[in-house]
Structure 1
Amino acid sequence: MNFKKIALWVISVFAVVFIIAGISFFAFRDKALQKAVAKVTDKMSRDYNSSFSVKEAKFNGLSGIEMKGVTIIPKDADTLLQVKEISTSVNLSRLLMGDVQLGTLKMRDGFVQLVKNNEGWNFKSFLHSKKDKEDNDDDARRSYAERAYRLLTKVLNLVPTDMALDNLNFRVDDMGRKLSMNLSKMTLADNQLESNIHVVEDTIIQNWKVKGFADPRNRKADLKFFNTDTSRIAVPYISERYGLKSGFDSIHVNLEKIEMESGELHVDGYASIRNFMVNHPKIALKDVVIDNARFDYRVLFGDRYIALDSTSTVQLNKLKVKPFAKYSVEADTTYQIKAHIPTMPAQDFITSLPKGLFTNFEGMEAEGNFSYNLDFLMNKNKPNALVFDSSLKKDNLKITKYGAADLAKLNGSFVYRAIDHGRAQRPVLVGSGNANYTPISQISPYLRKAVLTSEDPSFFSHRGFITEAFRQSLIKNIKTKKFSRGGSTISMQLVKNVFLTREKTLSRKMEEILLVYILENNHIAGKERMLEVYFNVIEWGPDVYGIGEASRYYFDKSPASLTLDECVFLASIIPSPKTFMYRFTGEGDLKSYALKHDNYIKNIMLRRGLISAEDTIAQKGHVNVIGRARGRLRLNKENIFANDSLDIDEIFFNLSKQAF
């Protein structure tokens, strides 16, 4: 048998087959392409109420496709997309396996514009997915790892290995707020990416550059984003839209690995930012600046969980934090957060704080070291089992120099000026030179006990914070799905009043926490002195500061002469002193909800042994306002709240109990 002839015959047969298949393929592929365009056109019209058109579409070579005049126009709206020319090639072997993987991509002269006006949005119909139910069910059956891996693979396959984009615009017109970003050029060749972006917003003109390594097939990237003139990049649009100003010198993004290992997806890399600035009234009253920040991440996707691994690191200047976060539906739905600050010098911590966020700490100096741990775990179906633990370990930690907040002034006379809505109020001398100043020994013991009961029962035993009270506050807020209960101690209220503004900013709250810790743990002022200052500076009514003014304003008597009922009343209005008048009826008596609340406080005081049954004789909860405050009561017909129903009173009473 002549094997050579047989082999030649077989080869000839296969050659004929491939030639016939090739002729068939080339004969029908153009029709297949036109059919695909028609299918997209129909889907755009049916699912997105938009017209999709291509002036010309054809194959170029074996795997290349060219299209000209591509447009998407939503019905009765501005054009969403328009591109003059697109040419691309696909990986045929991957296509036969059902995957679309781009090889090359060239695109020029086009735009995407998002327009919102009085007629609506030109992109609204694209915000809601119309995915088939079967696909949704299929995704639901997949593990988080499988879903994430599938999505990342699809996205990376759509990134070509050879790319050239020219003169592409992204435009936004949001009710007259306009932004234009022109991608004059972007190239990707030999795994090197480079682009130039011209940004125009009102009078601001910027030229951005993205440059670095990009290898979509091996799932790796290392890119830098910066301004060509080395100035700080101003993040566009959000300032006009949300009043948030933000900018940075450069961003460095690294994707090191995307890998499936034993059914778990690992995504590793890091991101860093230099000279990051943010400004918003809810954050701070001035620019907040972080010189250097870096996030080394390892994100894990499992069968029924997503986690930020504890090997991740967040670094702000010299401060390093080891975070851990996990969302799991393995048994119940749980949320877990951990944070660990390894032992570090206290001075490095102070100098690492973002500028503008902790203005009262500027100039502060410290000795020694510390470490910190936070542990939070919440089971959505068992909120009462919430875990919250915050602990700080000190090693010869000592504050040697205070910053702008001179905490030591609490031990002597000083002038206090409340800040209300950004305005300094009249000066109040906290000391013997003020006739209204009242030492703790000259204040009715009933007031001391009532205020501690309602505001901070463990004031004399804690160090500024009550972990369990904060945990209970979290549980309450989770159950009500709103911020309905706080965990503020008298120490925190004192620091807030004396050293900080009343602005509700992130900056003020964070400063409050740190200043309280320093005040309490460095024994700068004794508890008795702190309580005395607290009684003499807090607001007890409209332009009424200190208990000396308050006792005369309401009852025309000295603080030492206050009765139990009067003291409980004064304690009850501390959370909202300017609205005290709404607790009274048109006849000048306390409303039923206010009476219930005050009796509730007295009962707690009785149970805790702070008062005796004899103390309550003739104390039925009624108070007689005879001082200047009486002029603010809405008496008789002037009081629109005089006829509140019992149901409304019950609501107010129940709200008042939340603090206990």
Structure 2
Amino acid sequence: MRTKKQWFFLILKIIIVLVILALSGIYFFRDTLLQQALEKAKNKFDQQYNANFIVEKAKFIGTTSVELENIHLIPQQADTLLSVEKIRTEVSLLQLLTGEVQLKNLEMRNGFIQLVKNENGRNFDAFLKKENTKETTNEKRNYAKLVNRILTQILNLIPSEMNLENLSLRIDDQGKKVNFHMNNLSLINHQLATKIDVKTNTLNQKWNINGFANPREKRADLLFTSADTSKIQIPYIDEKFGLKSSFNKIRLKLDNLEMSFGKLHLDGVASIENFTINHPKIAKKDVVLQNAQFDYRFLLGSDFISIDSTSSAQLNKIKIKPYLEYNTEEDTIYKLKLNIENMKAQDFITSLPEGLFTHFTGMEAEGSFDYHLDFVFNKNKPNQLVFDSKLNKRNLRIVKYGEANLEKLNAEFTYRAIENGVPQRPVFVGASNPYFTPLELISPYLKHAVLTNEDPSFMRHRGFISEAFKQSIVKNIRTKKFARGASTISMQLVKNVFLTREKTLSRKLEEILLVYILENNRIASKERMLEVYFNVIEWGPNVYGIGEAAEFYFQKKPIDLTLTECLYLASIVPKPKKFMWQFDSEGNQKSYAQKNQRFIKNLMLRRGLIIPDDTIGQSIPIHISGRARSFLKLKIVQDTIAIDSLDILEPEFIN
């Protein structure tokens, strides 16, 4: 009779024999299993993606190496998506059984992937379709688990060592072609090196990619540079979107990718040198970021994605501590915090991207400042928006102005509006211009009406209206476009006198900074700013300043305008060139225009800017009597002499 010890060893021997038999079976039938796996993949591509998956030869070499020859993936009635002459890799049989496949070595040669879009559609559309699932669930998406699973699967497919030869990625978007070609890519002992030939319809260049890559430990440090002395130009997007961009080098570093306590940590560094971008919506010239670096700390949980506050960003000498969060725990909440610790004002000015702030070129400043922004937007409670922006100054002052010399507001100067890049006729802002009107010679009705309609708190604020700015943000987020601005008279003045009317990111950023400098350094009084504003803004086609406007519409001086006429002039400030659409074919104001002017008048009454007695004898509609009348779309008979009176004309005028 066997003892317990003997039974134990007997069972252990049986288990070992069974494992050996199982492994032997897998080994001897491994090619059959491989063919079955390929057949399964072929059926899946055929049924789910309507594509032919072809492998002409497939076999095991030894116990772990798999070799495939002449692999093709061809969507039905579309261009070939993938074609490779030979692939050889090592996989663990045990991993094949468990499904956790990690490629060890990979050799690949003579092949391409091509993405094609033409009149027949795209050859990769079928692979972008979402799978239809009948099952529904109320379980919330776990962002940490989802991202960790995706990144882990991607990293597992990157072999620990590889050698790729003569491979290309081709893109053909309606004739816009890009070809990325690698003669050789090697990853040996975690060191990656390759050269990429890049060709487009208009571009031919060579890139280098070098560095450290360890997909098993989830770490990498890669450097992208040009193979010659030129900068790397980013292809395709220039032809597709008119966006030209280039850089000297980019560094991408991954230090840590770890899942712990239900949270995913993703740490590393990204930097770029001499990044240049050009697009008409950004600026009129090249915008250059000399040095930018982002030390990132991404943190993902079950119901949030965030850039942790320990992250830091640096643009030249400007150092920013950002915090960004998207949270769905209860409501959908977006959070943004930006902190710039105390820095010299001159360092800030010299660190601004070249070409983005051209009017600051040559500006000099003394002192220092720190800045803090706190932004919170609750998608389900938009009216609870938090927007707290604070700038703390320390002996901050401008000692030399750049191209935009704000001091000129206090003296006489020549103003020229610029429309579509074309300077308009000069308008002299000073006493020698007969149309120039000092503030005290402008009807108080007009001052109150324009301020009521454009910027009621102008005399009190410092360039910006916080509440209006908040409401603008809320509406723009809701509509997913810039549907509403928050422009003040200060901003309109800076835009008119110092900037252009171009709708670019550069102009808007310059406008914000110049307004802040103008208002917070008390460069010009509010009264002088308002006086200049009334004398330079456009009031109609080729009509600049209130002196010209009063004559153009009513053949009057600005001081003699009635309340009704002032309400009308205030109503056309937003769109002065379209004033004629307020009138019908008989020269009378349309009802919507009258309603708008009554609204402005009622606001003025409620705020005590006018009293009921001011409205006595003030009738609507108004009568346009000046040169502006020729712009109205009037009936021909309206302003002609009655046919019955033609007999009083001299014979030579009647033919």
What band does the TM-score fall into relative to the shorter chain? over 0.9
Aligned ranges 1:503-542 → 2 under 5 Å: 503-542=502-541
Q: Which residue of 1 aligns with 2:650?
A: none
Q: 1:573: how far off?
A: 0.7
Q: Which residue of 1 aligns with 2:50?
A: 49
Aligned ranges 1:150-169 → 2 under 5 Å: 150-169=149-168
Q: 1:183: how far off?
A: 1.3
Q: 1:12: how far off?
A: 6.5
Q: Which residue of 1 aligns with 2:566?
A: 567
- Given residue 619 of structure 1, which amino acid in structure 2 is its aligned partner? Q
Retained in 1: the 8 A contact 2:362–2:401?
A: yes
SS in 2 for 1:399: strand
Q: How many residues were matched structurally?
A: 637
RMSD, matched Cα: 2.0
Retained in 2: the 8 A contact 1:95–1:101?
A: no
- The 1:549–1:406 alpha-carbon spacing in structure 2 relative to 1, beyond 3 Å, is same
SS in 2 for 1:102: coil
Aligned ranges 1:109-124 → 2 under 5 Å: 109-124=110-125
- Given residue 272 of structure 1, which amino acid in structure 2 is its aligned partner? S
1:171 matched to 2:170: yes
- Given residue 91 of structure 1, which amino acid in structure 2 is its aligned partner? S
- Rounded Cα–Cα distance in structure 2 between residues aligned with 1:605 and 1:10: 98
Q: 1:230: how far off?
A: 3.3
Moved more, 56-65 or 218-227: 56-65
Residues 14-57 of structure 1: per-residue CA shift (max 9 Å, x gap): 66434432332133322221121112112212222211111111
Residues 160-198 of structure 1: per-residue CA shift (max 9 Å, x gap): 101111110111111111111101111111111111101
- Rounded Cα–Cα distance in structure 1 between residues aligned with 2:134 and 2:65: 33
SS in 1 for 2:349: helix
Q: Which residue of 2 aligns with 1:105?
A: 106
- Given residue 595 of structure 2, which amino acid in structure 1 is its aligned partner? K
Retained in 2: the 8 A contact 1:586–1:638?
A: no
Moved more, 607-616 or 381-390: 381-390
Residues 182-216 of structure 1: per-residue CA shift (max 9 Å, x gap): 01111111111111101111242111111111111
- The 1:426–1:68 alpha-carbon spacing in structure 2 relative to 1, beyond 3 Å, is same
Identity %: 56
Q: 1:151: how far off?
A: 1.3
Retained in 1: the 8 A contact 2:369–2:391?
A: yes
- The 1:617–1:265 alpha-carbon spacing in structure 2 relative to 1, beyond 3 Å, is same
Retained in 2: the 8 A contact 1:390–1:467?
A: no
Q: Which residue of 2 aligns with 1:651?
A: none
1:244 matched to 2:243: yes
SS in 2 for 1:255: strand
- Given residue 417 of structure 1, which amino acid in structure 2 is its aligned partner? R
Residues 198-241 of structure 1: per-residue CA shift (max 9 Å, x gap): 11112421111111111111111111010111321000010011
- Rounded Cα–Cα distance in structure 2 between residues aligned with 1:602 and 1:5: 106
Runs of 4+ in 1 over 6 A off after TM superposition: 1-12
Residues 429-468 of structure 1: per-residue CA shift (max 9 Å, x gap): 1111111111111110111000100111111111111111
Q: Which residue of 1 aligns with 2:631?
A: 632
1:605 matched to 2:599: no
Aligned ranges 1:279-428 → 2 under 5 Å: 279-428=278-427
Q: 1:317: how far off?
A: 0.2
Q: 1:129: how far off?
A: 3.0
- Rounded Cα–Cα distance in structure 2 between residues aligned with 1:507 and 1:332: 35
- Rounded Cα–Cα distance in structure 1 between residues aligned with 2:537 and 2:505: 22
- The 1:606–1:96 alpha-carbon spacing in structure 2 relative to 1, beyond 3 Å, is same
- The 1:271–1:605 alpha-carbon spacing in structure 2 relative to 1, beyond 3 Å, is same
SS in 2 for 1:367: strand
Q: 1:476: how far off?
A: 3.2
1:260 matched to 2:280: no
Unaligned runs of 5+ in 1: 640-660
- Given residue 417 of structure 2, which amino acid in structure 1 is its aligned partner? A
SS in 1 for 2:26: helix
- The 1:422–1:42 alpha-carbon spacing in structure 2 relative to 1, beyond 3 Å, is same
Q: Which residue of 2 aligns with 1:91?
A: 92
Q: Which residue of 1 aligns with 2:216?
A: 217
Retained in 2: the 8 A contact 1:413–1:429?
A: yes
Unaligned runs of 5+ in 2: 639-655
Q: 1:638: how far off?
A: 11
Residues 442-497 of structure 1: per-residue CA shift (max 9 Å, x gap): 11011100010011111111111111110122233344454332110000000000
- Given residue 300 of structure 1, which amino acid in structure 2 is its aligned partner? L
Q: 1:348: how far off?
A: 0.3
SS in 1 for 2:35: helix
Residues 481-535 of structure 1: per-residue CA shift (max 9 Å, x gap): 5433211000000000000011100000000000001111111111100000000
Q: Which residue of 2 aligns with 1:17?
A: 18
Q: 1:141: how far off?
A: 4.8
- Given residue 149 of structure 1, which amino acid in structure 2 is its aligned partner? N
Q: 1:285: how far off?
A: 0.1
- Rounded Cα–Cα distance in structure 2 between residues aligned with 1:542 and 1:420: 12
- Rounded Cα–Cα distance in structure 1 between residues aligned with 2:394 and 2:581: 51
Q: Which residue of 2 aligns with 1:656?
A: none
Q: Which residue of 2 aligns with 1:63?
A: 64
- The 1:23–1:91 alpha-carbon spacing in structure 2 relative to 1, beyond 3 Å, is closer
- Rounded Cα–Cα distance in structure 1 between residues aligned with 2:50 and 2:541: 58
